[in-house]
Structure 1
Amino acid sequence: MRAPIGPFDNAVPAPDCLAELTAPVAEAVAGWAGDVPAGQILYVDTDPAIADTGAFVAHYGQGLLGQSANCVVVAAKRGGEVTLAACVVPSGGRIDVNGAVRRHLGARKVSFAPMETAVELTGMEYGGITPLGLPADWPLLVDEAVADMPYVLVGSGRRRGKLIAPGKLFAEIPGAELIEGLAP
């Protein structure tokens, strides 16, 4: 099947290719219970060497920049305690870590989580972290612009492959909070 966005001629419903996903992502897809049917979550195979946004859109088309999102793991600190959270923002934007994220999480300081921590605690590969399958106790902040996109391309949990899903799906992920201006 052809993907609804991008130059991908072989899009497969994610429930039909769970073996291509990391365990936490496969479990989230298999157990999906949102209003958007799980069959609308599509998997497309992509080159893992160009998983990072800049290289990806240079290869697959600049138009994907406005149709994709990044999932970033942050560490919020307050009173000696650290809370990990994930933020989903349009790929063309910059996450407002020291403004919107810090205020929403009630933190004194917020920074990007160390790569090793993000990889270990998500069970996903760096450069492929996706909001589906994140630890259930993490806050998940989703920029409203992502939920408003007709379709969104995001990581699949691995550097190889991407997921494409209707934007409204990201507001349906358990624990997701829509935030205006997360990436102004």
Structure 2
Amino acid sequence: MVGTLDWTPAAERPDLLADPVAAAAGGVADAEVAPIDPALADTAAFCAHYDVPLEASANCVIVAAKRGGEVTYAACMVLATGRADVNGTVRKHLGARKASFAPMDEATSLTGMEYGGITPVGLPAGWPILVDEAVAAAPHVVIGSGLRASKLLVPGKALAALPGAEVIALAQ
């Protein structure tokens, strides 16, 4: 297992998942969940406290892409050791004139998840999920659970198999 957490199959602990994540987690092969201290949900603090290597942790950022007055949203998954190239790769891939991180209040209200726990599992239907090649190739990555009080452990290939997922070279 990864880190010092007590991992349990996600299907056995829906109480540790945000509602949209719990509804979708059954479709994620080998997903496991572990409770954490919500004050340690941010990546650096989480990894340090629970002995999870940064390269075994992946972040999900919500991007707002704009073109011709229309706004579309997408999720980007990158390892904690990298950053999503929002203004270059992501913007071009989405065919947008402008792309930026979605404001926190928009990201949380649209996803039904807590800030610091947003995950690609259970996102609104039709949202593209851009998964960096390194995330897809990882044997397992720790990601958000939709809540700050827990984390999911999933195979990288399971993220690449999510509805709307595309594997691309995303990180800078």
Give the structure 2 partner of residue 46 of structure 1: 36
What amino acid sits opposite 2:137 in the alignment? D
Residue 81 of structure 1 is aligned with which of 67, 70, 82?
70
Give the structure 2 partner of residue 59 of structure 1: 49
User: What do you get for the CA RMSD once the two structures are aligned?
Assistant: 1.1
How many residues align? The count is 172
The list of structure 1 runs, each at least 4 consecutive aligned residues, that deviate by more than 3 angstroms after superposition, is none
What amino acid sits opposite 1:5 in the alignment? V
Give, in whole Å, the separation in 2 of the partners of 1:145 and 1:64: 14
Does residue 169 (structure 1) correspond to residue 158 (structure 2)? The answer is yes
Give, in whole Å, the separation in 2 of the partners of 1:150 and 1:137: 26
Residue 83 of structure 2 is aligned with which of 71, 90, 94?
94
Does residue 5 (structure 1) correspond to residue 5 (structure 2)? The answer is no
Give the structure 1 partner of residue 58 of structure 2: 69
> Deviation string for 1:128-161 (max 9, x for gaps)?
0011000011111110110100110000100011
What amino acid sits opposite 1:50 in the alignment? L
Q: Secondary structure at the residue paired with 1:159?
A: coil
**C-alpha displacement of 1:58:** 2.2
Give the structure 1 partner of residue 171 of structure 2: 183
Residue 141 of structure 1 is aligned with which of 126, 130, 147?
130
TM-score by length of 2: 0.96
Q: Secondary structure at the residue paired with 1:92?
A: coil
Give, in whole Å, the separation in 2 of the partners of 1:5 and 1:167: 14
The 5-angstrom pairing of residues 103-142 of structure 1 reads: 103-142=92-131
Percentage of identical aligned residues: 59
- Does the 8 Å contact 2:117/2:145 carry over to 1? yes
Runs of 5+ unmatched residues, structure 2: none
Give, in whole Å, the separation in 2 of the partners of 1:88 and 1:146: 7
Give, in whole Å, the separation in 1 of the partners of 2:48 and 2:7: 20
What amino acid sits opposite 1:183 in the alignment? A
Give, in whole Å, the separation in 1 of the partners of 2:125 and 2:54: 28
